[in-house]
Amino acid sequence: MKSELLKLNDANRRQFLLNAAKTTLGVSVLSGLGAKMAAAEAVSKSGPGTPGFGKAKRVIYLWMGGGMTHIDTFDPKTGETKGFKDAAKAKGDNIGYLGGYLPKLADVADKLAIIRSMSSKTGVHESGTYIMKTGYEPRGTIVHPAMGSWASHFLGRIKDKTLPDSVVVNSGSAYPGSGFFPPAMSPIPISNPETGLQNIAPTASDNQFKKRIDLMNEFDTGFRKKFQSEDVKAYTEFYDETLKLMKSEDLKAFDLSMESTDTREKYGRNNFGQGCLLARRLVENGVRFVEVQMGGWDMHNTIDNAMTTNGNTLDTGFSALITDLEAKGLLDSTLIVLGSEFGRTPDVNENDGRDHYPLAYSTVFAGAGVKGGYAYGSTDKDGRRPADKQTSPQDFLATVGHAMGLPVDEVVMSPSNRPFTVADKGVPVVDLFA
């Protein structure tokens, strides 16, 4: 058997080992073991001591909802698929150009690493979003955790803070949230960065509010004594925790009015810009994972108009976030990633727009030891297919997990006893890190 193994080339040997594992070990241990072997064989190694591993103490995930056009943003082309605007020269070594709608980002491109060879299988918003946030295809029988919840699982809840581990900005829903992990690991949704945490302000004066709390506890004494249920106790703890948060100094993290007008203007006076600013305040105060959502990318019609507005919003907010984090000395330990459910068709359609296109798209990294001015992988001349280093959504999220120092090949059993790993056996792109 040993000699047989030696004759095989690398790829075959991996497959051989996988098959051997399947036949000798049965199914339930397979996924973890297989993933470990796959990772061990891969060019990119993850784990302590490898480049970038664990450098990201905090992550800000910029989510471009609707399917961000790759050609008009981070993978511009000059040929027949060019679109409506000339590209902008990017600062740094091998990025070359960014879309003409992103001049400010082009100026800080020496801080960016772009994966231009992303490729996925689904052109549907809902499942594309799900895969890019959990690493798994949606199933009707389980919900997988988002990255912030994986981090809470492996790294533990953040101690000594009343703030949550993770937050989603510009959304009313935390979905997919903590998935099969406990709800306490779910991000807290912030619908609007201007108003911050919903319902945090008491509807009555401090004095009256205290009276109400006391009265509640008095009326409830008999019930709490009678029912020794853990569920009842847990609720009482949630009330205590919430009251603590309402009085907490940490709440200032949610208060954008504490920023100067200049700073607020610099990020752009819109939900995305202010969301980026809020994200900076949150990570500064110890929140581990912040997702900032931006919509408007589903540009089926008149993409030039749509990009003029949306491009400017992204350009302003993202570039401000990079320079601000750097000025605060946080960029080295904070990873910014940008992702979207898919790209858009290279060919402009009859409505002067572009349609859904999962076969090729881009994701962007910055901070936390990421190489600056670096493009990983590329697409062919018209942006239709990855030309080299094809990267899956799983690889993309595994890279985020690697940066956070998560054991991406460790198998975790769900409560229903099904095996899962961070990013479904994706292989981290360790080459992104210096």
Partner 1 sequence: MAALFAAALNLGAAEIRTWTDLQGRQVVASFVRLEGGDIVLQTKDGAQYKFALTKLSAEDQKIAQSSAAAAPAAEAAPSFLANATVAQAAAKVDQLVAGGLIKANPDRVKGGKAPITKFNPPASDEQFVRRVYLDIAGRIPNHDEVAAFLKAGGSDKRAKLIDQLLDSDGYKTHLFNYLAEMLRVKDNFEQDNVRGTPYIGWLKEQVAKNRPWNEMVYEMITATGKMWDKKPDGTYNGAAGYLLRDAGMPLDNLANTLTVFLGTDVACAQCHDHPFADWTQKQFYEMAAFFGATTTRLGGKDFANGDRGKELMDQIEKMIASNPELDIRRLRNGLQNYIGANRTAIKDRAVNNLKLPHDYKYKDGKPGDAVEPKFVTWSAQDKNNPAYKAAKKEKGEEKLRESFAIWMTHPANPRFAMAIANRMWKRAFGVGVIDPVTSLDNVDDASNPELLKHLANEMVRVKFDLKQFMRIVYNTRAYQSEATTENIAMGEKYYFQGPMLRRMSAEQAWDSYMTLVLGQPDQFKAPLQDLYAKSIDLNLDTVDPQTVLIKYDAYRKIQQKENELMGGGLDMAGEDMMMAGGARKASTSTKKTEPADDSAQGKFITYEGMRLLRSAELPQPAPGGHFLTDFGQSPRNLIDGSTKIGNVPQVLMMMNGKAQKMLTSPDSLIFRSMEKVRDPSAKVETIFLSVMSRKPTVNEKDIAKRALAQGEDGYANMIWALINTREFMFIQ
Residues that bind partner 1 (CB under 8 A): 22, 26-28, 124, 126-127, 138-143, 164, 171-173, 175, 182-184, 186, 188-189, 191, 197-204, 208, 211-213, 215-216, 218-220, 222-224, 226-232, 234-236, 238-239, 241-242, 245-246, 300-302, 350-353, 417-418
Strands (E) across 313-369 are located at 334-340, 343-344, 356-357, 361-366
Nearer to partner 1, 343 or 367 (CB): 343
* Contact status, residue 313 vs residue 294, Cβ threshold 8 Å: yes
Nearer to partner 1, 122 or 334 (CB): 122
- Cα–Cα distances in Å, from 205 out to 177, 201, 211, 337? 34, 10, 10, 42
CB of 106 to partner 1, least distance (A): 29
Give the tokens for residue 106: 């082009």
CB of 217 to partner 1, least distance (A): 8
Nearer to partner 1, 141 or 261 (CB): 141
Nearer to partner 1, 7 or 226 (CB): 226
Cβ atoms within 10 Å of 26's Cβ, excluding its own: 9
CB of 331 to partner 1, least distance (A): 30
Give the tokens for residue 323: 């320079």
CB of 403 to partner 1, least distance (A): 28
Nearer to partner 1, 259 or 298 (CB): 298
Q: How far apart are CA 339 and CA 26, in angstroms?
A: 36
Convert 138-147 to b/e letters by CB count within 10 Å (16 or more is b).
beeeebbbbb
Nearer to partner 1, 293 or 340 (CB): 293
Nearer to partner 1, 220 or 380 (CB): 220
Q: How far apart are CA 371 and CA 196, in angstroms?
A: 33
CB of 239 to partner 1, least distance (A): 6
Cβ atoms within 10 Å of 226's Cβ, excluding its own: 9
Backbone angles phi, psi at 344, to 5 degrees: -130, 155
CB of 308 to partner 1, least distance (A): 16
* Contact status, residue 281 vs residue 326, Cβ threshold 8 Å: no
For β-strands 58-64 and 334-340, DSSP reports them as parallel
CB of 213 to partner 1, least distance (A): 8
